[in-house]
Copies of this chain bind each other. A is one copy, B any other.
Amino acid sequence: MNHLDPNNILLITDIPGYTPQISRLMSMMNYARYSTLRAVEGLTTEQLDYKLDETSNSIGALLLHFAAVEVAYQLETFEHRDLNEEEMKIWGAALDLGEQGCTIKGNPLEYYVNILNEVRTKTYEVFKTKTDEWLYEEYPFWQERPANHYFMWYHVFEDEINHRGQIRWMKKRLPM
């Protein structure tokens, strides 16, 4: 991900090829992802699979969750639709986590990072075609409250940061 240049990562600013507000949103998404990747750096498959207790998600499942949430919001904001049956077969477990999320295991870190990169690349390709006005389009969302596309993408990185806090918590408590 060439967007994650450590020298520019502390700037919320313009990004060539994108409109001003989309650039700012991307700057925040980039720092969130940069922090996620730093938090999981060097983890083994065993560590990525580890569950701290019965109801805990594994770190690997949370990484795949970030990609799944991003896919869901691509569909929501780019196509105004939910995941279809076929897409749910691919992303459902990572999206819903819990018991279903337990099937996500046995993968090295690279597996998750590649999927995260693929999904992010798709997002940023579409962002190239979007304007700031698009970011402010609003319609009824959670509990029929008005939400705009900017908020929906804010929520994508906000959810990642929330779970990254949990990843840091779990990492500190890994027995291996």
Contacts and interface: CB of A to CB of B under 8 A. Distances in A.
Interface string A137-160: 010011001111011001000100
Q: How many copies does the complex hold?
A: 2
Contact of A162 (B6, B21, B145, B162): B162
A133 B171 CA distance: 39
Nearest to A32: B158
Interface in A1-39: 6-13, 21, 24, 27-28, 31-32, 35
Given A158-B161, A161-B158, A164-B165, A147 B11 contact: yes
Nearest to A6: B145
A51 to B, nearest CB: 13
A7 B145 contact: yes
Interface in A82-101: none
A45 to B, nearest CB: 23
Contacts of A27: 151
Interface of A: 6-13, 21, 24, 27-28, 31-32, 35, 53, 55, 136, 138, 141-142, 145-148, 150-151, 154, 158, 161-166, 168-169, 172-173
